[in-house]
Structure 1
Amino acid sequence: MKRLILLSVMVATLPPYAISAEDISPESLSGKPSSELGDFVYSAMPDAGHGLSWDWQSNSDIVWADGVTQTASGMSLRTGFARINVMGVKSTVLEKRKKELGWEVSLGTSMPAKFGPEYISMAPSKCGGYLNENCTFNPASSLTKRGIEFHKICSTIAGGPNTTDVYVVRVVKKESMLMTWVNSAGSSASSSWLGLRMYSPESAALYCDETVKKEYSFATQDGRSKKELVHDTKIITDALSKAISGIDGANDAVCHARIFADGYGGISAFDASQKDNDIVFCESIINRLSGIRLPHLRKMHQQ
């Protein structure tokens, strides 16, 4: 008589790369829940009719330092740490054990503190070394998941992966905000940073102008004659016009944009933040131009 013996074996193991709930830096975040980035951004957007304040999320899972401090440069700051993930992905650091890395959250202003903070910033804390992982992030999917609308109004490319993108972010029953997404890369590390400030058409134009001037080194005449400059401008203008042909906007949609070419066939900066612009129409133009190659003016002048 044959016997059939069924064995069911269940073995629970912890993979060597897994991070336990308590393995986090700084340790003060141990036991705190993790927030999806889109949810965190949503919480940072004031309700309609309100502005930013120093007591934002003061009694939350953010671990705040004491009060508001003054820096040597005159900035007023309130800093803390929070557990944040981007579509479930968490930043990590390798110490004695591999740990989740908390994000540093700051409220700040260059104005007198009594007027309240001007911005909120957030980024993985001290992230960007070779012992870190997931220091860079793209907020787009997380914002979309939370139902936050976002439109790019200006952008700079300081070289390679070093970029600064500024968006208008909107959601029903919330104040619209300016969101700055910065990506930086060095020889051995990369990192991302996100900032939010109150939006108005006027403030957006001013902020984008300052961003472009800060990040982009404006081209000089480089010895070219006035005739050569006019010729070069026409070549670039014709190429840009051809690239954006066929883009349709709403009736009477307008987009006044400044576009900076680097002379090597690339675009170094966009600024489409003027207050009368149709933001959605302008974004479609920016997206069309992102990554296109323009005539290589330097080669043309060398021939």
Structure 2
Amino acid sequence: MTAIAKLSVLDLAPVVQGSNANEAFARAKELAQHVERLGYHRFWMAEHHNMPDIASAATSTILAYIGAHTQRIRIGSGGVMLPNHAPMIVAEQYGTLAALFPERVDLGIGRAPGSDGVTTRALRRDAKAAEDLLPQLEELQYFLGEEQPGQRVRAYPGVGSHVPLWLLGSSTYSALLAAQKGLPFAFAAHFAPDFMMRAIELYREQFQPSAQLSAPYVMVAVNAIAAATNEQAEFLATTGQQKFVSMIRGQEGLIPPPTDNMDAIWTDLERQQVTRMLRESIIGNKEKVQAGLRGLQARTGADEIMLHNIIYDQQARLNSYELIMHG
């Protein structure tokens, strides 16, 4: 039987109904410790804003908390939305993390705002900043690289740290930029799978080796939920389906418990939209999920698969990752 690719975890510190951010952080810490024991390779967290059900807005801060409560697992951003920040600030933040947790820190970069247009303006972000990420990326590399002769502005800490950079994306833009800069590429198939195969193909075709990376390296992020039975896993997955319905409607709220009847919640059109966005999700018992992951790896040639899920119950969330890794 073909072995599954290296497995990692993406978490957003979800805030479930009846809970708060403090409890979400405790759940994230417990999950990171759990998947570290299970042998997962990375634990990444993502920047989102103005979303009451996601507590990972200050990504570098919560990663310091996660790093302090783990020993070996790589930690990182999946990702930092670079147009929201001055590259020097990002270099200082992740240079600090790299100093605290040597050889464990990744810096994944994206260009989406991580929220809606009104919030984007509140972040004081140049409306055109995401149109061309290259200058910002090169500025970030400059601050993380070796000090140059005559360099007057440096990131302390950060300079000389060479924190590994990744480019994240859900389209061909980041794939082509990752190829141009010789960086590893992570595709967000967990919510936007439409361009997955084309983006990966273009990345591999146009990859140019760099000091960081000599050959293409692809990671695919996908939703995966495992439980004792297929029916139980499908039940757990209704939490995430409700979350996406709320996003389509522009409604805010905390992460809901699963439901026995999604048809009482979504319209036919909403069901079609959610099904399309989540069509790469792998949901079922351990055999079904492991087979699905092997199939995804075979289709994409992924070097690594990053797993994400939205599960209301913490123990079910922990059990899901255990079943996927070890059955």
Question: Structure 1 length normalisation: TM-score?
Answer: 0.24
> What's the TM-score once normalised by structure 2's chain length?
0.23
Q: Taking CA–CA contacts closer than 8 Å with sequence separation of 6 or more, which of the two structures ends up with the larger relative contact order?
A: 2
Higher share of residues assigned strand: 1
Which structure has the bigger radius of gyration? 1
